[in-house]
Amino acid sequence: MIHVVGIGPGDDAYLTQMGSHIIEQAEVLVGAKRNLESITHFKGLKREMDSSLGELVNYLKANSDKKIALLASGDPLIYGIGKYLSEHMGKDQLSIVPGISAIQYMFSKIPLDMNDLYITSSHGKTPNFDKILEYSKVALVTDTLVGPCEIANEILKRGLAKVLLVGENLTYANEKITRFKPEELTKENKFDRNVVVILDEK
């Protein structure tokens, strides 16, 4: 059985008890370098994940007789690897252990409820901003191509009254959450890995 374990936004204090139990019982940990380094007390084999998801699936299928825990940042099914694996592996081979997503953590810090929240991502795609900006409450997991400045520009192009909250390095010592009006952001602004929340201005 392959267990996909959501390890939370970053700090291992946000790893769930179930996730911790699965990791302790595993023979092999698979994950990105940063995720593997965050699990310091594991005694078994660690295998760093390469960039090819196809090769990862082949490895997992070939080793499904082992107790493998695949580490996923945040929650595996909120713009994580869980979707790809559930589409390319048999349901009887896969167990997904939820984690706390960066979005959930961000909303707890604002603090603001997640009722009626529209969740999306800019990873590897250009978001449909006409659709996104119709909502009064949006959370985006961003990448280096479409981040806070690009989102602000799309708001300004449409003349909308919105505010942005940008959460950087969530749960780490250098965590930073900043509120901006769209006109305050330019391409000169640089951000570390972040989640962007867009709200109607009130």
The DSSP string of 3-64 is: EEEE-BSSSGGGS-HHHHHHHHH-SEEEE-HHHHHH--S--SEEEE--S-HHHHHHHHHHTT
Domain boundaries, the chain: 2-100, 103-200
Question: How much is the pLDDT for 192?
Answer: 87
Backbone angles phi, psi at 5, to 5 degrees: -110, 115
Round to whole Å and give the CA distance between 112 and 12: 23
- What number does CATH give the domain 2-100? 3.40.1010.10
- Please state the pTM of the whole predicted model: 0.90
Q: Which of 78, 68, 71 is nearest to 19 (CA)?
A: 71
Strand, coil or helix: 165 = strand
What pairing do the DSSP bridges indicate for beta strands 176-180 and 162-168?
antiparallel
pLDDT at 51 over 80: no
Question: How much is the pLDDT for 79?
Answer: 92
pLDDT in tens, 148-181: 999 999 999 999 999 999 999 999 999 999 999 9
Q: Which residues on neighbouring strands pair with residue 29, listed in sequence order?
A: 46, 69
Homologous superfamily of the 103-200 domain (CATH): Tetrapyrrole methylase, C-terminal domain (3.30.950.10)
Backbone angles phi, psi at 70, to 5 degrees: -95, 120
